[in-house]
Amino acid sequence: MINIAKSEKLFSEAKNFIPGGVNSPVRAFNSVGGNPLFIKKGYGTKILDADDNEYVEYIGSWGPHLFGHNPEFIKEALVRSIDNGTSFGAPTEIEIEMAKLIIDLVPSVELVRMVNSGTEATMSAVRAARGFTGREKFIKFEGCYHGHADYFLIKAGSGALTLGVPTSPGVTKGNAADTLCAEYNNIESVKELVFANKNEIGAIIIEPIAGNMGVIKSKIKFLQELRELCTEEKIVLIFDEVMTGFRVAKGGAQEVLGVKPDLSTFGKIIGGGLPVGAFGGKREIMEQISPVGPVYQAGTLSGNPLAMSAGFAALNHIKEHPDVYDILEQKSAYLEKGMKDNLESLGLNYWMTRIGSMSCMFFTDVEVSDFKSAVTSDTKKYGQYFHEMLNQGIYLAPAQFEAMFVSTAHSKDDLDKTIAAHKIALGNIS
């Protein structure tokens, strides 16, 4: 067992000043048991906890660290930026450069507005769609997580799913009434809602590759039919690419799946590890946003020069190194094969999914393609597996329904160590 005495002490202290001792619920280890580790340093593929235990890790700050922790080119961009100041509340040139780069990399985006988080991006995109269409209702999908805005916490994924809180107290009946839930990968469930609420639905928002009920890809036919339905019914189709944007491909999930949304939301990688979000898409919709249009959206720190500089460095690195996704695919496929070989050698039929550098192992032998199949996974067994991996120096998401992220920094030694640990962990709990 690893010694985590200092982390235990810090957590005990934190609970006196912070609700639950953490500033985001999934960090609390509630779904895997035990208490969270406090991290003091990250470098490449490693993190160091408060007790100086080192781990090969696959969270990457929940997705942003495509190039590992603290890459030199992002640090250099931040140092250059901070010399000029941290925030101005006024336009800066780097905001223009960042917007141009996003538009260049994602063909469906014609205009883009920077915000401060993924939650801000998704709630602003839905507001823009409602303002553009003049309709109040929207459709989301069971198990998809779009941040913690009131109207998204209806049958949500991520921490809300893991913690068994699909609809949070504090969400009003009015919000719930305007939020309609469909079944992921089931177009008939969408059509039923659309035709039962004819001319009342302003938007449909979806994670085209879900990363918050585990990793699940939309079926291409389903997504194509969803696109056709939105076009026919004049509904704004929103792709939540906060997690998948610049992670699964240069152009995100919409490039991989070949379906073009009306609006897209981004976060994580576009901040280079700093807090950030963005939403963008068709000019005619985005020009409804203030100050040019009547739909109000604002943010004191939106377009913060530090986040823009780090994000621009990350996206420009992608643009200048087109082999990034080939490298990620090779590393991720190698890890997947090793883990699947372990399952086979142990006679286990656990379901694994992978799309690019995102993957997930479900403790179920059911094919996972939606919310209902995802929740057949044995979360107690995942908790045991998590701690077995932790004891061998591998840090995974402390929740079954989160993604495992591979970075370009992961070496063959890292991957081999992980595969070996995976086999031992499964053997110890099976």
Q: Does residue 145 carry a catalytic annotation?
A: yes
Whether 365 is a known active-site residue: answer no
Angle of helix 220-233 relative to helix 187-196, nearest 10 degrees?
10
Which range of residues forms the domain containing residue 50? 5-70+323-429
**Domain co-membership, 310 together with 197:** yes
Same domain flag for 342 and 234: no
Last residue of a domain, one of 261, 293, 320: 320
Are residues 95 and 26 both part of a single domain?
Answer: no
* Contact of 102 with 315, CB cutoff 8 Å: yes
CATH of the domain at 207: 3.40.640.10
Report field, pTM of the whole predicted structure over 0.75: yes
- The one catalytic residue in 240, 262, 370, 414 is 240
List the chain pLDDT tens, one digit each, 430 residues. 799 999 999 999 999 999 999 999 989 999 999 999 999 999 999 999 999 999 999 999 999 999 999 999 999 999 999 999 999 999 999 999 999 999 999 999 999 999 999 999 999 999 999 999 999 999 999 999 998 887 787 655 444 444 444 466 777 777 777 889 999 999 999 999 999 999 999 999 999 999 999 999 999 999 999 999 999 999 999 999 999 999 999 999 999 999 999 999 999 999 999 999 999 999 999 999 999 999 999 999 999 999 999 999 999 999 999 899 999 999 999 999 999 999 999 999 999 999 999 999 999 999 999 999 999 999 999 999 999 999 999 999 999 999 999 999 999 999 999 999 999 999 999 8
Catalytic site residue from 137, 155, 217, 268: 268
**Amino acid 228: pLDDT:** 98
Q: Following CA atoms 391, 392, 393, 399 in sequence, which dihedral angle do they give, to the nearest 10 degrees?
A: -60
Question: What pLDDT, on a 0 to 100 scale, did the predictor assign at position 157?
Answer: 46
Q: Which of 49, 137, 140, 145 is catalytic?
A: 145
Residue 245 and residue 350 in one domain: no
Report pLDDT for 167.
61
**How many domains are there within the chain?**
2
299 and 192 housed in the same domain:
yes
- Reply yes or no on whether 240 is catalytic: yes
Q: Three-state secondary structure along 265-316?
A: EEEHHHHCCCCCEEEEECHHHHCCECCCCCECCCCCCCCCHHHHHHHHHHHH
Residue 187 sits in the same domain as residue 149:
yes
